[in-house]
A and B are shown apart, each in its own frame.
Chain A
Amino acid sequence: DQQVKQNSPSLSVQEGRISILNCDYTNSMFDYFLWYKKYPAEGPTFLISISSIKDKNEDGRFTVFLNKSAKHLSLHIVPSQPGDSAVYFCAASTGGGGSNYKLTFGKGTLLTVNP
């Protein structure tokens, strides 16, 4: 059973426009959510996170929105840059932010930002 779902395998956007990556989850016990970015031949790198007590978290060009009632989160990248081209993984845990060892990942979305 896929508890974290990223239904779009790929997304292509123009440089300077907004990229919106979506993620849905089924486990209502998840209370901490993270986005990781992965370049080819490298491990995932942490991008941004959000606790279930919030509905928005911003860090520079990256904003994550959480809709608990819909069990949905999204990552917004504004403005998108060619260097943002990578696979983006949504991940969730039940650790409350202090024990995130057992992350459950989605399958990832390949973002391509065209110059």
Chain B
Amino acid sequence: DTGVSQDPRHKITKRGQNVTFRCDPISEHNRLYWYRQTLGQGPEFLTYFQNEAQLEKSRLLSDRFSAERPKGSFSTLEIQRTEQGDSAMYLCASSRAGRHNEKLFFGSGTQLSVL
């Protein structure tokens, strides 16, 4: 496994700007997830894809957030009109559906700071 890759590692932006993050999952994994982690908390589920279909979204994912996974490969997470409360670590994970005791493999995350 080459691992889950996320880009960029760090992003500093001004309030009101749009940002986009990219995630490249492990190549044979058909499921891809986005989680968010704020300081002092554990990761919180945002959304997940099976292949190119977005199958579930958390209520944490406001309408300023949009995630895509064209062609079922890499995924992007866009945040429009960023707010200071969006500052967090955004984690991507992937897995292979159908395996017993399915495990999520996480990337190193994108740390977003909204000034």
Residue of A46, A101, A108 with highest tally of chain B CB at under 10 A: A101
- Per the bound structure, the CA–CA distance linking A108 and B43 in Å amounts to 10
Contact of B45 with A102 in the complex, beta carbons under 8 Å: yes
Least CB distance, A112 to chain B, in whole angstroms: 17
- Do most interface residues of chain A lie in helix, strand or loop, or is the interface mixed? loop
Which residues of A have CB within 8 Å of B106?
Answer: 36, 43-45
Min Cβ gap A29→B in Å is 15
How many pairs of residues, A versus B, come closer than 8 Å at their CB atoms?
A: 64
Interface size class of B (residues with CB under 8 A): 20 to 34
Given A49-B103, A89-B43, A107-B40, residue A101 in contact with residue B48 (CB < 8 A): yes
Is A74 close to B, CB under 8 A?
A: no
Do A101 and B99 contact each other (CB < 8 Å), given the known contacts A107-B42, A108-B42?
A: no
Chain A residue, CB-CB nearest to B44: A105
Q: Tell me the complex Cα distance, A92–B28, Å.
A: 24
User: In the assembly, what is the distance between CA of A99 and CA of B93, in Å?
Assistant: 14
Interchain CA distance A13-B4 in the complex, whole Å: 32
Say whether B62 faces chain A, with CB atoms less than 8 Å apart. Answer: no
B51 to chain A, nearest CB (A): 13
Does A66 have its Cβ within 8 Å of any Cβ on chain B? no
Q: Please, how many angstroms separate the alpha-carbon atoms of A108 and B42 in the complex?
A: 6
Residues in B2-24 with C-beta less than 8 Å from chain A: 4
Q: Write the residues of chain A forming the contact surface with B, with a CB cutoff of 8 angstroms.
A: 4, 32, 34, 36, 41-46, 49, 51, 89, 91, 95, 97-108
Query: Known contacts A95-B102, A101-B48; can you find 20 more A-B pairs with CB under 8 A?
Result: A42-B109, A43-B93, A44-B43, A44-B91, A44-B106, A45-B106, A51-B101, A89-B42, A97-B102, A100-B95, A100-B102, A101-B33, A101-B56, A102-B56, A103-B43, A103-B45, A105-B42, A106-B42, A107-B40, A107-B41
